[in-house]
Protein backbone atom coordinates (compact mmCIF):
# COMPACT_ATOMS: atom_id res chain seq x y z
CA UNK A 1 0.00 0.00 0.00
CA UNK A 2 2.45 2.77 1.00
CA UNK A 3 5.14 3.95 -1.34
CA UNK A 4 8.08 4.64 0.95
CA UNK A 5 11.69 3.62 1.14
CA UNK A 6 11.40 2.32 4.72
CA UNK A 7 11.54 -1.32 5.67
CA UNK A 8 8.38 -2.00 7.61
CA UNK A 9 5.67 -4.50 8.45
CA UNK A 10 2.84 -4.01 5.95
CA UNK A 11 0.71 -6.83 7.34
CA UNK A 12 -1.15 -4.46 9.63
CA UNK A 13 -2.24 -2.31 6.68
CA UNK A 14 -3.11 -5.09 4.23
CA UNK A 15 -6.45 -6.05 5.84
CA UNK A 16 -7.75 -2.48 5.91
CA UNK A 17 -10.87 -2.04 3.77
CA UNK A 18 -10.61 0.22 0.72
CA UNK A 19 -12.58 2.95 2.53
CA UNK A 20 -9.80 3.34 5.13
CA UNK A 21 -6.78 3.05 2.85
CA UNK A 22 -6.55 6.70 1.70
CA UNK A 23 -6.65 7.96 5.30
CA UNK A 24 -4.15 5.31 6.43
CA UNK A 25 -1.78 6.22 3.58
CA UNK A 26 -2.02 9.88 4.54
CA UNK A 27 -1.35 9.11 8.22
CA UNK A 28 1.59 6.90 7.35
CA UNK A 29 3.19 9.36 4.97
CA UNK A 30 2.65 12.70 6.69
CA UNK A 31 2.52 12.11 10.45
CA UNK A 32 5.15 11.19 13.00
CA UNK A 33 4.63 8.41 15.53
CA UNK A 34 4.19 10.97 18.32
CA UNK A 35 1.37 12.66 16.38
CA UNK A 36 -0.28 9.31 15.62
CA UNK A 37 -0.25 8.40 19.31
CA UNK A 38 -1.68 11.81 20.17
CA UNK A 39 -4.51 11.31 17.66
CA UNK A 40 -5.15 7.80 18.96
CA UNK A 41 -5.66 9.27 22.43
CA UNK A 42 -7.47 12.51 21.54
CA UNK A 43 -8.98 11.90 18.11
CA UNK A 44 -7.85 12.78 14.59
CA UNK A 45 -6.75 16.31 13.80
CA UNK A 46 -9.47 18.56 12.31
CA UNK A 47 -7.70 18.80 8.94
CA UNK A 48 -7.93 15.02 8.66
CA UNK A 49 -11.60 14.80 9.57
CA UNK A 50 -12.33 17.40 6.87
CA UNK A 51 -10.51 15.34 4.22
CA UNK A 52 -11.70 11.90 5.30
CA UNK A 53 -15.22 11.31 6.55
CA UNK A 54 -14.72 8.32 8.86
CA UNK A 55 -16.43 7.21 12.05
CA UNK A 56 -14.52 7.17 15.32
CA UNK A 57 -14.18 3.38 15.10
CA UNK A 58 -12.82 3.66 11.55
CA UNK A 59 -10.28 6.28 12.63
CA UNK A 60 -9.12 4.04 15.48
CA UNK A 61 -8.76 1.09 13.13
CA UNK A 62 -6.69 3.11 10.65
CA UNK A 63 -4.59 4.71 13.39
CA UNK A 64 -3.92 1.36 15.07
CA UNK A 65 -2.73 -0.19 11.81
CA UNK A 66 -0.56 2.81 10.99
CA UNK A 67 0.96 3.00 14.50
CA UNK A 68 1.88 -0.69 14.38
CA UNK A 69 3.41 -0.19 10.96
CA UNK A 70 5.23 3.01 11.89
CA UNK A 71 6.80 1.40 14.97
CA UNK A 72 8.62 -1.02 12.68
CA UNK A 73 10.20 1.93 10.80
CA UNK A 74 12.54 2.37 13.74
CA UNK A 75 15.94 0.79 13.40
CA UNK A 76 16.89 -0.90 16.63
CA UNK A 77 20.43 -0.79 17.98
CA UNK A 78 22.08 -1.47 21.37
CA UNK A 79 22.89 2.20 21.98
CA UNK A 80 19.20 3.05 21.85
CA UNK A 81 17.95 4.53 25.11
CA UNK A 82 15.81 2.25 27.23
CA UNK A 83 13.17 5.00 27.43
CA UNK A 84 12.83 4.96 23.64
CA UNK A 85 12.36 1.20 23.60
CA UNK A 86 9.72 1.52 26.31
CA UNK A 87 7.93 4.21 24.29
CA UNK A 88 7.84 1.95 21.22
CA UNK A 89 6.39 -0.89 23.31
CA UNK A 90 3.86 1.51 24.83
CA UNK A 91 2.79 2.58 21.32
CA UNK A 92 2.31 -1.07 20.34
CA UNK A 93 0.22 -1.70 23.46
CA UNK A 94 -1.92 1.36 22.72
CA UNK A 95 -2.53 0.29 19.11
CA UNK A 96 -3.42 -3.24 20.22
CA UNK A 97 -5.68 -1.99 23.02
CA UNK A 98 -3.50 -3.93 25.47
CA UNK A 99 -1.34 -1.48 27.41
CA UNK A 100 0.57 -4.12 29.37
CA UNK A 101 1.27 -6.57 26.55
CA UNK A 102 4.65 -8.31 26.82
CA UNK A 103 7.20 -8.91 24.11
CA UNK A 104 6.74 -12.67 24.47
CA UNK A 105 2.98 -12.29 23.93
CA UNK A 106 3.63 -10.08 20.90
CA UNK A 107 5.99 -12.72 19.49
CA UNK A 108 3.33 -15.42 19.91
CA UNK A 109 0.73 -13.30 18.12
CA UNK A 110 2.99 -12.28 15.27
CA UNK A 111 4.51 -15.71 14.66
CA UNK A 112 4.12 -16.70 11.00
CA UNK A 113 1.67 -13.84 10.54
CA UNK A 114 3.69 -10.63 10.64
CA UNK A 115 7.15 -11.76 9.60
CA UNK A 116 8.91 -8.40 9.59
CA UNK A 117 7.30 -7.42 12.91
CA UNK A 118 8.36 -10.76 14.40
CA UNK A 119 11.94 -10.21 13.22
CA UNK A 120 11.85 -6.65 14.59
CA UNK A 121 10.63 -7.93 17.98
CA UNK A 122 13.33 -10.61 18.10
CA UNK A 123 15.93 -7.91 17.48
CA UNK A 124 14.39 -5.90 20.31
CA UNK A 125 14.70 -8.91 22.63
CA UNK A 126 18.35 -9.31 21.67
CA UNK A 127 19.06 -5.62 22.22
CA UNK A 128 17.47 -5.83 25.67
CA UNK A 129 19.74 -8.78 26.47
CA UNK A 130 22.79 -6.82 25.35
CA UNK A 131 21.72 -3.76 27.35
CA UNK A 132 21.20 -5.86 30.50
CA UNK A 133 24.59 -7.57 30.06
CA UNK A 134 26.33 -4.22 29.54
CA UNK A 135 24.62 -2.74 32.61
CA UNK A 136 25.67 -5.73 34.73
CA UNK A 137 29.21 -5.51 33.39
CA UNK A 138 29.32 -1.79 34.15
CA UNK A 139 28.08 -2.35 37.72
CA UNK A 140 30.68 -5.09 38.25
CA UNK A 141 33.44 -2.82 36.95
CA UNK A 142 32.32 0.02 39.21
CA UNK A 143 32.15 -2.33 42.18
CA UNK A 144 35.74 -3.51 41.49
CA UNK A 145 37.00 0.09 41.28
CA UNK A 146 35.34 0.99 44.58
CA UNK A 147 36.77 -2.04 46.45
Work out how many domains the chain is built from and give that number.
1
Residues 112, 79: Cα–Cα separation, whole Å? 29
Structural domain including 91 reads 18-145
User: Does residue 133 fall inside a structural domain?
Assistant: yes
- For residue 69, the tally of other CB atoms under 10 A from its CB is 28
pLDDT at 117 over 60: yes
CA distances for 107 relative to 41, 94, 103, 114, angstroms: 25, 16, 6, 9
According to DSSP, residue 75 is labeled P
Burial class (CB in 10 A: 0-12, 13-18, 19+), 114: buried
Angle at which helices 82-95 and 33-42 pack, to 10 degrees?
40
Tens-place pLDDT, residues 85-100:
889 999 999 999 999 8
User: What is the model's pTM?
Assistant: 0.86
User: Does residue 7 fall inside a structural domain?
Assistant: no
Tens-place pLDDT, residues 57-88:
999 999 999 999 999 999 998 888 888 888 99
User: Does residue 38 fall inside a structural domain?
Assistant: yes
Tens-place pLDDT, residues 22-59:
999 999 999 999 999 999 999 999 999 999 999 999 99
Q: Could you give the percent of the chain with pLDDT greater than 90? A: 63
Amino acid sequence: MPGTNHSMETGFLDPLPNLLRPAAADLLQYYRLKQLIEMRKEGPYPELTKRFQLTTAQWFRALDAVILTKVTYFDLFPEMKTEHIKLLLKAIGLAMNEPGITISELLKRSENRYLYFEEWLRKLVEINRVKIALAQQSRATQKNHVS
